[in-house]
Protein backbone atom coordinates (compact mmCIF):
# COMPACT_ATOMS: atom_id res chain seq x y z
CA UNK A 1 0.00 0.00 0.00
CA UNK A 2 2.84 2.37 0.90
CA UNK A 3 4.53 1.53 -2.41
CA UNK A 4 1.28 2.24 -4.26
CA UNK A 5 0.87 5.63 -2.54
CA UNK A 6 4.50 6.48 -3.28
CA UNK A 7 3.93 5.58 -6.93
CA UNK A 8 0.91 7.87 -7.12
CA UNK A 9 2.86 10.70 -5.47
CA UNK A 10 5.79 10.25 -7.88
CA UNK A 11 3.40 10.23 -10.83
CA UNK A 12 1.70 13.43 -9.67
CA UNK A 13 5.07 15.09 -9.07
CA UNK A 14 6.30 14.19 -12.55
CA UNK A 15 3.03 15.46 -14.03
CA UNK A 16 3.45 18.76 -12.18
CA UNK A 17 7.05 19.12 -13.37
CA UNK A 18 6.13 18.34 -16.97
CA UNK A 19 3.18 20.73 -16.76
CA UNK A 20 5.42 23.49 -15.40
CA UNK A 21 8.00 22.92 -18.14
CA UNK A 22 5.27 22.87 -20.78
CA UNK A 23 3.95 26.19 -19.48
CA UNK A 24 7.44 27.67 -19.72
CA UNK A 25 7.91 26.44 -23.27
CA UNK A 26 4.44 27.67 -24.24
CA UNK A 27 5.31 31.27 -23.39
CA UNK A 28 7.79 31.68 -26.24
CA UNK A 29 7.15 30.55 -29.81
CA UNK A 30 9.17 27.46 -30.71
CA UNK A 31 12.35 28.44 -32.52
CA UNK A 32 11.91 32.12 -31.71
CA UNK A 33 15.13 34.00 -30.94
CA UNK A 34 15.76 37.34 -29.31
CA UNK A 35 16.31 39.99 -32.00
CA UNK A 36 18.27 43.17 -31.40
CA UNK A 37 16.35 45.70 -33.48
CA UNK A 38 18.73 48.61 -32.82
CA UNK A 39 21.59 49.54 -30.48
CA UNK A 40 22.32 53.19 -31.29
CA UNK A 41 20.63 54.85 -28.31
CA UNK A 42 21.91 56.09 -24.95
CA UNK A 43 19.35 54.58 -22.55
CA UNK A 44 16.02 53.20 -23.66
CA UNK A 45 12.92 53.15 -21.48
CA UNK A 46 9.14 53.35 -21.27
CA UNK A 47 7.79 51.20 -24.16
CA UNK A 48 4.07 51.55 -24.87
CA UNK A 49 2.06 49.99 -27.68
CA UNK A 50 -0.63 51.77 -29.67
CA UNK A 51 -3.77 50.05 -30.97
CA UNK A 52 -1.96 49.03 -34.17
CA UNK A 53 0.90 47.38 -32.31
CA UNK A 54 3.51 50.06 -32.96
CA UNK A 55 5.68 50.64 -29.89
CA UNK A 56 6.75 54.07 -28.64
CA UNK A 57 9.76 54.21 -26.35
CA UNK A 58 12.08 56.83 -24.88
CA UNK A 59 15.77 57.59 -25.12
CA UNK A 60 15.88 59.73 -22.01
CA UNK A 61 19.48 61.06 -22.15
CA UNK A 62 18.83 62.26 -25.71
CA UNK A 63 15.41 63.69 -24.76
CA UNK A 64 13.52 61.78 -27.48
CA UNK A 65 10.51 59.56 -27.97
CA UNK A 66 11.03 56.98 -30.71
CA UNK A 67 8.51 54.83 -32.59
CA UNK A 68 9.01 51.21 -33.64
CA UNK A 69 6.85 50.46 -36.66
CA UNK A 70 5.68 46.87 -36.41
CA UNK A 71 4.90 46.56 -40.12
CA UNK A 72 8.49 46.97 -41.35
CA UNK A 73 10.56 46.77 -38.13
CA UNK A 74 11.82 50.33 -38.61
CA UNK A 75 12.41 52.99 -35.96
CA UNK A 76 11.70 56.69 -36.39
CA UNK A 77 11.80 59.72 -34.13
CA UNK A 78 8.32 60.60 -32.88
CA UNK A 79 9.23 63.61 -30.74
CA UNK A 80 12.27 65.73 -30.03
CA UNK A 81 12.39 67.73 -26.77
CA UNK A 82 10.17 65.19 -25.06
CA UNK A 83 10.48 66.56 -21.53
CA UNK A 84 13.07 63.91 -20.69
CA UNK A 85 10.20 61.42 -20.86
CA UNK A 86 10.67 58.16 -19.00
CA UNK A 87 7.61 55.90 -18.72
CA UNK A 88 4.92 56.01 -21.42
CA UNK A 89 1.38 54.66 -21.65
CA UNK A 90 -1.57 55.20 -23.99
CA UNK A 91 -4.78 56.45 -22.44
CA UNK A 92 -8.20 55.15 -23.43
CA UNK A 93 -8.46 57.76 -26.20
CA UNK A 94 -5.12 56.75 -27.75
CA UNK A 95 -3.29 59.83 -26.51
CA UNK A 96 0.26 59.13 -25.37
CA UNK A 97 0.91 59.80 -21.69
CA UNK A 98 4.46 60.54 -20.65
CA UNK A 99 6.22 60.79 -17.30
CA UNK A 100 8.10 63.95 -18.25
CA UNK A 101 11.05 63.89 -15.90
CA UNK A 102 12.62 67.21 -16.91
CA UNK A 103 10.21 69.30 -14.83
CA UNK A 104 8.63 66.41 -12.90
CA UNK A 105 5.38 66.55 -14.83
CA UNK A 106 2.87 64.19 -16.37
CA UNK A 107 2.09 64.97 -20.03
CA UNK A 108 -0.67 64.02 -22.42
CA UNK A 109 0.53 64.09 -26.01
CA UNK A 110 -2.23 64.29 -28.62
CA UNK A 111 -1.97 62.73 -32.05
CA UNK A 112 -1.51 66.26 -33.41
CA UNK A 113 1.56 66.67 -31.19
CA UNK A 114 -0.16 69.12 -28.87
CA UNK A 115 0.91 68.70 -25.25
CA UNK A 116 -1.21 69.05 -22.11
CA UNK A 117 0.50 69.13 -18.72
CA UNK A 118 -1.79 67.05 -16.54
CA UNK A 119 0.09 67.50 -13.30
CA UNK A 120 3.23 69.25 -12.07
CA UNK A 121 2.86 69.22 -8.28
CA UNK A 122 0.94 67.75 -5.37
CA UNK A 123 -0.57 70.04 -2.75
CA UNK A 124 1.79 72.81 -3.82
CA UNK A 125 4.94 70.70 -3.69
CA UNK A 126 6.91 69.59 -6.73
CA UNK A 127 6.67 65.91 -7.52
CA UNK A 128 9.81 63.80 -7.09
CA UNK A 129 9.83 62.69 -10.72
CA UNK A 130 6.96 60.61 -12.18
CA UNK A 131 8.53 57.40 -13.45
CA UNK A 132 6.01 54.88 -14.73
CA UNK A 133 2.24 54.78 -15.19
CA UNK A 134 -0.82 52.67 -15.91
CA UNK A 135 -4.35 53.64 -16.99
CA UNK A 136 -7.43 51.86 -15.63
CA UNK A 137 -10.68 51.00 -17.38
CA UNK A 138 -12.29 54.29 -16.36
CA UNK A 139 -9.39 56.39 -17.60
CA UNK A 140 -7.88 57.04 -14.20
CA UNK A 141 -4.07 57.20 -14.09
CA UNK A 142 -1.81 55.51 -11.55
CA UNK A 143 1.82 56.61 -11.46
CA UNK A 144 4.91 55.97 -9.36
CA UNK A 145 6.94 58.88 -8.02
CA UNK A 146 10.41 57.81 -6.84
CA UNK A 147 13.32 60.23 -6.57
CA UNK A 148 16.37 59.86 -8.82
CA UNK A 149 18.63 62.88 -8.74
CA UNK A 150 19.13 64.14 -12.30
CA UNK A 151 22.11 66.10 -13.57
CA UNK A 152 19.80 68.44 -15.47
CA UNK A 153 17.86 69.50 -12.34
CA UNK A 154 18.72 72.63 -10.38
CA UNK A 155 17.31 71.18 -7.13
CA UNK A 156 19.30 68.70 -5.08
CA UNK A 157 16.60 67.28 -2.80
CA UNK A 158 12.96 66.28 -2.95
CA UNK A 159 10.08 68.54 -1.93
CA UNK A 160 8.11 65.43 -1.00
CA UNK A 161 10.17 63.14 1.22
CA UNK A 162 7.93 60.10 0.76
CA UNK A 163 8.05 58.06 -2.43
CA UNK A 164 4.42 57.37 -3.21
CA UNK A 165 2.05 55.96 -5.79
CA UNK A 166 -0.60 58.45 -6.93
CA UNK A 167 -3.97 58.20 -8.67
CA UNK A 168 -5.47 60.84 -10.94
CA UNK A 169 -9.26 60.56 -11.23
CA UNK A 170 -10.75 59.86 -14.68
CA UNK A 171 -11.97 63.47 -14.96
CA UNK A 172 -8.37 64.58 -14.21
CA UNK A 173 -9.63 66.87 -11.43
CA UNK A 174 -8.36 65.06 -8.37
CA UNK A 175 -5.04 63.48 -7.42
CA UNK A 176 -4.51 61.38 -4.33
CA UNK A 177 -1.87 59.16 -2.71
CA UNK A 178 -2.96 55.54 -2.96
CA UNK A 179 0.16 53.68 -1.79
CA UNK A 180 2.68 54.73 0.85
CA UNK A 181 5.54 53.14 2.77
CA UNK A 182 7.66 52.36 -0.28
CA UNK A 183 11.40 52.89 -0.63
CA UNK A 184 11.61 53.59 -4.37
CA UNK A 185 8.44 52.63 -6.31
CA UNK A 186 9.13 52.16 -9.99
CA UNK A 187 7.38 49.68 -12.28
CA UNK A 188 3.58 49.50 -12.26
CA UNK A 189 0.98 47.45 -14.14
CA UNK A 190 -2.64 46.46 -13.61
CA UNK A 191 -4.76 43.50 -14.63
CA UNK A 192 -7.10 44.01 -17.60
CA UNK A 193 -10.17 43.52 -15.41
CA UNK A 194 -9.03 46.46 -13.29
CA UNK A 195 -9.01 44.50 -10.04
CA UNK A 196 -5.32 44.13 -9.18
CA UNK A 197 -2.44 46.61 -9.36
CA UNK A 198 1.18 45.47 -9.17
CA UNK A 199 3.81 47.92 -7.92
CA UNK A 200 7.54 47.22 -7.90
CA UNK A 201 9.54 48.74 -5.05
CA UNK A 202 12.93 48.52 -6.71
CA UNK A 203 14.59 50.25 -3.77
CA UNK A 204 13.50 47.49 -1.38
CA UNK A 205 13.80 44.64 -3.93
CA UNK A 206 10.13 43.70 -3.63
CA UNK A 207 7.01 43.71 -5.76
CA UNK A 208 3.53 44.03 -4.25
CA UNK A 209 -0.02 43.45 -5.37
CA UNK A 210 -2.96 45.63 -4.33
CA UNK A 211 -6.71 45.26 -4.68
CA UNK A 212 -8.21 48.15 -6.66
CA UNK A 213 -11.41 49.59 -5.20
CA UNK A 214 -14.25 51.18 -7.18
CA UNK A 215 -13.07 54.69 -6.29
CA UNK A 216 -9.50 53.93 -7.42
CA UNK A 217 -8.07 53.54 -3.93
CA UNK A 218 -5.91 50.54 -3.11
CA UNK A 219 -6.21 47.99 -0.32
CA UNK A 220 -5.00 44.53 0.77
CA UNK A 221 -1.31 44.98 0.00
CA UNK A 222 0.43 41.63 -0.45
CA UNK A 223 4.02 40.68 -1.20
CA UNK A 224 4.04 39.29 -4.73
CA UNK A 225 7.73 38.41 -4.99
CA UNK A 226 11.02 39.18 -3.26
CA UNK A 227 12.54 40.99 -6.22
CA UNK A 228 11.93 44.49 -7.48
CA UNK A 229 11.63 45.66 -11.04
CA UNK A 230 12.17 48.63 -13.29
CA UNK A 231 9.37 48.42 -15.88
CA UNK A 232 6.65 45.75 -15.94
CA UNK A 233 4.00 44.25 -18.18
CA UNK A 234 1.33 41.54 -18.12
CA UNK A 235 0.13 38.94 -20.64
CA UNK A 236 -3.28 37.43 -21.40
CA UNK A 237 -2.67 34.56 -18.96
CA UNK A 238 -2.07 36.97 -16.10
CA UNK A 239 1.68 36.38 -16.01
CA UNK A 240 3.74 39.33 -14.78
CA UNK A 241 7.00 40.32 -16.50
CA UNK A 242 9.63 42.01 -14.31
CA UNK A 243 12.85 43.60 -15.54
CA UNK A 244 16.37 44.22 -14.28
CA UNK A 245 18.51 41.16 -14.89
CA UNK A 246 16.84 40.29 -18.16
CA UNK A 247 13.08 39.68 -18.10
CA UNK A 248 11.73 37.38 -15.40
CA UNK A 249 8.22 35.99 -15.77
CA UNK A 250 5.97 35.07 -12.82
CA UNK A 251 2.50 33.62 -12.83
CA UNK A 252 -0.30 35.36 -10.92
CA UNK A 253 0.56 33.33 -7.80
CA UNK A 254 4.05 34.81 -7.70
CA UNK A 255 5.72 31.62 -8.89
CA UNK A 256 8.72 32.13 -11.15
CA UNK A 257 8.19 30.61 -14.59
CA UNK A 258 11.12 31.72 -16.68
CA UNK A 259 13.95 34.21 -17.14
CA UNK A 260 14.74 35.66 -20.55
CA UNK A 261 18.42 36.65 -20.42
CA UNK A 262 19.42 39.87 -22.16
CA UNK A 263 23.09 40.46 -22.91
CA UNK A 264 23.09 43.96 -21.42
CA UNK A 265 24.07 45.40 -18.04
CA UNK A 266 20.45 46.34 -17.32
CA UNK A 267 17.03 45.62 -18.75
CA UNK A 268 14.84 48.64 -18.08
CA UNK A 269 11.37 47.92 -19.40
CA UNK A 270 9.12 45.65 -21.42
CA UNK A 271 5.73 45.60 -23.18
CA UNK A 272 3.83 43.70 -25.85
CA UNK A 273 3.53 45.05 -29.39
CA UNK A 274 3.01 43.84 -32.92
CA UNK A 275 -0.19 43.49 -34.93
CA UNK A 276 -1.44 40.70 -32.67
CA UNK A 277 0.18 42.02 -29.48
CA UNK A 278 2.35 38.89 -29.41
CA UNK A 279 5.78 40.46 -29.80
CA UNK A 280 7.64 41.10 -26.56
CA UNK A 281 9.39 44.47 -26.93
CA UNK A 282 12.30 45.00 -24.54
CA UNK A 283 14.33 48.12 -23.76
CA UNK A 284 17.82 47.49 -22.37
CA UNK A 285 20.61 50.05 -22.06
CA UNK A 286 21.20 51.52 -25.55
CA UNK A 287 19.27 48.79 -27.35
CA UNK A 288 15.78 47.53 -28.07
CA UNK A 289 14.90 43.88 -28.64
CA UNK A 290 11.93 41.83 -29.83
CA UNK A 291 10.89 38.24 -29.13
CA UNK A 292 8.01 36.36 -30.72
CA UNK A 293 5.67 34.95 -28.06
CA UNK A 294 2.85 32.44 -27.85
CA UNK A 295 1.06 34.65 -25.32
CA UNK A 296 -0.02 38.21 -26.01
CA UNK A 297 -0.50 41.51 -24.27
CA UNK A 298 -3.83 42.94 -23.21
CA UNK A 299 -5.48 46.13 -24.44
CA UNK A 300 -8.89 47.55 -23.49
Neighbour tally for 127: CB within 10 Å: 24
> Binning pLDDT at 50, 70 and 90, where does residue 45 land?
very high
Q: What is the pLDDT of residue 111?
A: 87
> Binning pLDDT at 50, 70 and 90, where does residue 299 land?
confident
Percent of the chain with pLDDT over 90: 89
Q: Nearest Cα to 101, choosing from 126, 125, 121, 84?
A: 84
For 31-39, what is the mean pLDDT? 97
The reported pTM is: 0.91
Q: What is the pLDDT of residue 16?
A: 43
Q: What is the pLDDT of residue 4?
A: 42
Q: What is the pLDDT of residue 15?
A: 42
Percent of the chain with pLDDT over 70: 91
- Cα 37 → chain centroid: 20
pLDDT tens figures, 116-155? 999 999 999 999 999 999 999 999 999 999 999 999 999 9
Q: What is the pLDDT of residue 22?
A: 41
Distances (CA, A) of 22 to 19, 25, 122, 274: 5, 5, 48, 24
> Binning pLDDT at 50, 70 and 90, where does residue 112 land?
confident
Distances (CA, A) of 91 to 95, 103, 240: 5, 21, 21
Q: What is the pLDDT of residue 232?
A: 97
Q: What is the dihedral of CA 138, 168, 235, 16, to 10 degrees?
A: -100
Dist. CA 60–CA 130, nearest whole Å: 13
Neighbour tally for 49: CB within 10 Å: 25
pLDDT tens figures, 153-180? 999 999 999 999 999 999 999 999 999 9
Would you call 5 helix, strand, or coil by DSSP? helix
- Is residue 196 scored above 50 in pLDDT? yes
Question: What mean pLDDT, rounded, does the chain reach?
Answer: 92
> Binning pLDDT at 50, 70 and 90, where does residue 300 land?
low
For 12-39, what is the mean pLDDT? 70
Neighbour tally for 296: CB within 10 Å: 17
Domains of the chain: 65-261 (2.120.10.30)
For 54-70, what is the mean pLDDT? 97
User: Could you tell me which residues are beta bridge partners of residue 88?
Assistant: 98
Dist. CA 90–CA 108, nearest whole Å: 9
- Asked if 262 and 34 count as a contact pair (C-beta separation under 8 A), the reply is yes
For 189-199, what is the mean pLDDT? 97
Q: What is the pLDDT of residue 25?
A: 52
Amino acid sequence: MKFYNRLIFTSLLLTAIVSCKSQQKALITDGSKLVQVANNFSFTEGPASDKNGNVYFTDQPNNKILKWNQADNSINTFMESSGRANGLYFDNNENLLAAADDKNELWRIHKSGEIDTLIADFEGRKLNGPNDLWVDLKGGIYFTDPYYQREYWTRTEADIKEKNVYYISPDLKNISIVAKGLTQPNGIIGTPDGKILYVADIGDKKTYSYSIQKDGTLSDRKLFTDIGSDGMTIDNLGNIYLTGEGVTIFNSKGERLKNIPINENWTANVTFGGKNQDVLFITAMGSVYTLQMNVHGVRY
